[in-house]
Structure 1
């Protein structure tokens, strides 16, 4: 029997468990009625969950410590330093969350511009040393990391959304990397947006979209709505 497209991802794509909490958070940030303030708040929560999950892929080594009661505890410890590399601009939204969970993490940046033709063009690169964390843009970013000596199997590519076309393109080019995402959507629009997606994440997160929503709207305020965007007073 011929293996399905999804079967070829096994072990290479880690979809964060689709818990009710995660689905609710994605529902808020996908909703076109969500204000920028709400979008940033809930996007940050999703990012934190993604990054915490991604840390499960960092190698650990056994470590025994003494508790404050003088008892031994056999546990685990990180034995390598982590380096984050954000793809400007949307990837910069992950930086604060990474700093919150990985103390003294070093962060580099890659700026890639996408031309009208769809071709990705490298603008600038700034790296820190250590482990690192659009499809043409993603491929170029990973290519740059491998060119400076980072083994593909040591790259964790963390993203909010993925789709089959993007996964296939990225993993075909770099079979050794690990992709961590919170959502695998159905496909791409003619304009190369992931659908159902949410639009341009960078514009929404950094407030550069033209159509921002009413900042007074709250999906957790009992008078305005709940996490699923419905009124708590609706029967």
Structure 2
């Protein structure tokens, strides 16, 4: 699938396996999500544009590459996406942060918007949308549609675990968006949970039920 990257780094695989374990507690789970986001972000941001900037070393004046333009916007899908923000910020501390709030209808499993706040000028930024789980693909696809409606153009999507159904839907609705996946799981069950998955990422990050 064009524009889709499935991560195969041993560190990412190991940490995702720890996430899956039901005995992994809230504190460790939260730390792991942040670490995985940083490792994945390193790959997802490989093509950030740079420009030569003049700096002075202790030896001489030189022109060296630095990140160009209006830099980045990290946009977590609330609430579980919040767990991935700090990991990416460790890589790009100057990034601005937007928020998109979507909730899933328990009957239809379709997402509904309740909040959208994006840093301006959004059309000039590299936008990284983050959400730990890509299940049906509805929330991810709707979040990207909302960002495009606000003028966003250069959009990437990063999730830790995806179901094939969600990945196919997101790619079909937004073929121009680069998608980064930590692990591609087997399928969705009848409740639209990813199998084998890791349960509810939001509950496990925030310690709620």
TM-score (norm 1): 0.77
The unaligned stretches of length 5 or more in structure 1 are 1-8, 210-235
Deviations 1:134-169 (A, max 9, x none): 411111101001111112xx1011111112211110
Q: 1:65, CA displacement in angstroms?
A: 4.7
| Aligned mates of 1:188, 1:198 — CA distance in 2 | 12
Aligned length: 196
Q: 1:101, CA displacement in angstroms?
A: 1.9
Q: 1:37, CA displacement in angstroms?
A: 1.9
Deviations 1:27-58 (A, max 9, x none): 11111121222212222211111122221132
Q: 1:62, CA displacement in angstroms?
A: 4.6
Structure 1 residue aligned with 2:117, among 126, 134, 142? Answer: 126
The unaligned stretches of length 5 or more in structure 2 are 129-134
Per mean C-alpha deviation after superposition, the further-off stretch among 139-148 and 186-195 is 186-195
Q: Closer, same or farther in 2 for the Cα pair 1:146/1:32, shift >3 Å?
A: same
CA RMSD of aligned residues (A): 1.8
DSSP-derived class of the 1:160 partner: strand
Match of 1:179 in 2: 179
Please identify which structure carries the higher strand content.
2
Structure 1 residue aligned with 2:94, among 82, 97, 104? Answer: 104
TM-score (norm 2): 0.86
The question of whether the paired residues in 1 share the 8 Å contact of 2:34 and 2:85 is answered with no
Match of 1:139 in 2: 141
Q: 1:180, CA displacement in angstroms?
A: 1.2
- 1:25 is aligned to 2:20: no
Match of 1:54 in 2: 44
